[in-house]
Amino acid sequence: MKVVLKDLRKTYEGGKVVAVDDVSLEIRDGEFFSFLGPSGCGKTTTLRLIAGFEYPDKGSIFIGDEEVTFKKPYERNTAMVFQNYALWPHMTVYENIAYGLKIRKVREEEQRKRIREVLELVKLTGLENRYPTQLSGGQQQRVALARALVVQPKVLLLDEPLSNLDAKVRIEVREEIKRIQRELKITTIYVTHDQEEAMSISDRIAVMNQGRIAQIGTPEELYFSPRELFVASFFGKPNILDGIYLGEGKAEIQGGVEMGITPAAGQKELERGDKLKIVIRPEHIYIRGRLLQIRSGSSAEGSS
Amino acid sequence: MRMFTGDSQEVKVAVGKDREVLIYASAPSDLPISIGEEVELEIPESRVLAFRA
């Protein structure tokens, strides 16, 4: 089911702090969509607005064709997975997963069937009677995922679900989330500050900065065609050099090196004398060998 | 995240008239170069992105 945000704005402290600033976008049916950005960029607030844990000052939210802007969380047919798992410590795995079904008054027999299926999906069959404290972090997050999926939401929301896991388990659970999403074809909205995580798991990513969307695109688009310096510098660790535009597609960078450039997309046309920030990724600067000749335009000499 | 394959590795290179600018580049893993050696760099123009400062 698609999710549409229109002109969303959310402020705190009487309007002094703008958490979400005029955000509009459409998340496609069955898409794995991530909000990515540094701490405080507004990504979690945007997710909480979609979930109904917070209401916007302005703008609207649609899930499918239904406006849900001010509906309560349980009226939206979404389910959320939190960073800290948020499992009931006094309930077993089975009881945690069953909780959402009980309050929806799903028949016992149907509950048992759905829980059996979802445990299989997240590969936790056999651990039904364990308590959360008897599980690893990765297993607890799988229970949280099972609890979210068992109510058969139209949209799955995940707020930094891997942040509390160690590096190895994080990759395992990340792959599991992606597999399950593909299997169920469920629209999934994922929040993370980890660019590698977002790049490896998402169909599209919205990069956020200071409450607004800097750019939306596929991982490849964001990596190879950033429209803002912020986006270019957020992915990987590129070389960022000062330069002056010389005209005719050439620039002089620090150290008097002249090179051919490509203006980033979406900018006004460059004029001779413009000050530039030039971004080159290390993997795009190739050392061809010991110096035999210096090519003009798109080459530079150097010492290793 | 840096996209190096098993065939390449990241190296630090000094460029500019006085070799005063340090940049990170990619070198074939089997390229026999030593520190201080002059090298040729190739940078595809399409990968040199310019933003107005």
Overall pTM surpassing 0.80 (yes/no):
yes
Among B27, B53, B16, B8, which Cα is nearest to A253's? Answer: B16
* CA distance linking residue A29 with residue A58, whole number of Å: 24
Per-residue pLDDT at A231 exceeds 60: yes
For tokens 């916007």, the residue is A56
Q: How confident is the model at residue A301 (pLDDT cuts 50, 70, 90)?
A: low
Residue A138 Cα to chain centre, angstroms: 20
Q: Mark out the alpha helices in A185-285 (DSSP H runs).
A: 195-201, 219-224, 229-234
Contact A283 B12 (CB under 8 A): no
Q: Which residues of B touch A256 (CB under 8 A)?
A: 16-17
Q: Does A270 touch chain B (CB under 8 A)?
A: yes
Q: Which residues of B touch A264 (CB under 8 A)?
A: 49-51
Among B31, B33, B25, B29, which Cα is nearest to B7's? Answer: B29
Contact A285 B26 (CB under 8 A): yes
Q: Which residues of A touch B31 (CB under 8 A)?
A: 287, 289
Q: Does A214 touch chain B (CB under 8 A)?
A: no
Residue type (1 letter), A112: R
For tokens 């997240």, the residue is A122
Tens-digit pLDDT profile for residues A256-293: 899 999 999 988 899 999 999 999 999 899 887 655 44
Helix (H, G, I), strand (E, B) or coil at A230: helix
> In percent, how much of chain A has pLDDT > 90?
88
In chain B, the DSSP E strands lie at 8-15, 21-28, 38-42, 49-52
For tokens 């001779």, the residue is A272
Q: Does B12 touch chain A (CB under 8 A)?
A: yes
Among B38, B12, B4, B49, which Cα is nearest to A241's? Answer: B49
- Closest by Cβ to B40, choosing from A232, A236, A288: A288
Contacts of A16-22 spanning 24+ positions with Cβ under 8 A: A18/A210, A18/A211, A19/A45, A19/A211, A20/A45, A20/A46, A20/A49, A20/A56, A20/A211, A21/A210, A21/A211, A21/A212, A22/A59, A22/A212
Q: A58 phi and psi, to 5 degrees?
A: -155, 155
Q: How confident is the model at residue B29 (pLDDT cuts 50, 70, 90)?
A: confident
* CA distance linking residue A116 with residue A105, whole number of Å: 18
- Closest by Cβ to B49, choosing from A226, A283, A304: A226
Give the minimum alpha-carbon distance from B6 to chain A in angstroms, rounded to a whole number. 12
Per-residue pLDDT at A297 exceeds 80: no
Q: Does A196 touch chain B (CB under 8 A)?
A: yes
Give the minimum alpha-carbon distance from A108 to chain B in angstroms, rounded to a whole number. 48
Q: Does A133 touch chain B (CB under 8 A)?
A: no
Tens-digit pLDDT profile for residues A46-61: 999 999 999 999 999 9
Burial class (CB in 10 A: 0-12, 13-18, 19+), A40: middle
User: How large is the ipTM?
Assistant: 0.87
Separation in Å, CA B5 to CA A48, A198, B9, B45: 38, 20, 7, 21
